[in-house]
Amino acid sequence: MKKSLLIVALIGIAAGGYYFYQQNNAVGNNQPQIISKPNSDAIFKARIADLAGVRQPLAQWRGKILVVNFWATWCPPCRQEVPEFIALQKQYGDQGLQFVGIALDEKAKIQNFMDEVGINYPVLVGDLEAVALAQTSGNRLGGLPYTVVIDQKGNIVATEMGALSKEKLITILTPLLSKKSV
């Protein structure tokens, strides 16, 4: 338990530092990080517990436009982007868009935040395995929030470290939404 709390604290420190860096260095802030060699194998092999403790296979969302967001309730930029994700899930869910949140936090805090803001997409409870999954998916800094966008064919098409605005995400999603699901 102490080890996982230490990891979560370190992630929080890294996220805060990265957020400070992003706010004070506008260079490159308007472009998502595009991955040159996409590989979503680790994401689709992962099974992460939901709030009820049932391990959910992320492969159940294969074939959809998948937005995997690593976040925590104690992370201000994470809290800032969630309402926009809720709106996009509502707007584009019937077109094959699926958000999945992986929260690196305590179950009670996650549930309280979900109830407070009305999250309308699955939220899983991350642990050390989820931290490793974020790193494998390109989160080299270990900060939060961290978002991975996967197309209908299972390719990672973009990642974003730090808060992801609705406008930036729509720019990433628009070409994917116009394609028919495979």
DSSP 127-147: -HHHHHHHHHTT-TT--SSEE
pLDDT at res. 178:
80
Q: What is the pLDDT of residues 12-32, one digit of tens each?
A: 544 444 443 444 343 444 444
Give residue for tokens 């790193």.
135
- Average pLDDT of the residues of the chain: 84
What is d(CA 157, CA 175) in angstroms, rounded to the nearest whole number?
A: 11
In the sheet where 146-150 sits, what is the strand order?
A: 123-125, 97-103, 65-71, 146-150, 156-161
pTM: 0.80
Locus of tokens 């990080």: 33
Query: Helix or strand or coil: residue 168?
Result: helix
State pLDDT tens for residues 137-168. 999 889 999 999 999 999 999 999 999 999 99
Distance CA 118, CA 113 (A): 8
What residue ranges define each of the domains in the chain, with the CATH number in brackets? 2-177 (3.40.30.10)
* Closest residue by Cα to residue 72 from 112, 42, 29: 112
Helices and strands (H and E) in the chain: how many: 6, 7
pLDDT over 60 (residue 85): yes
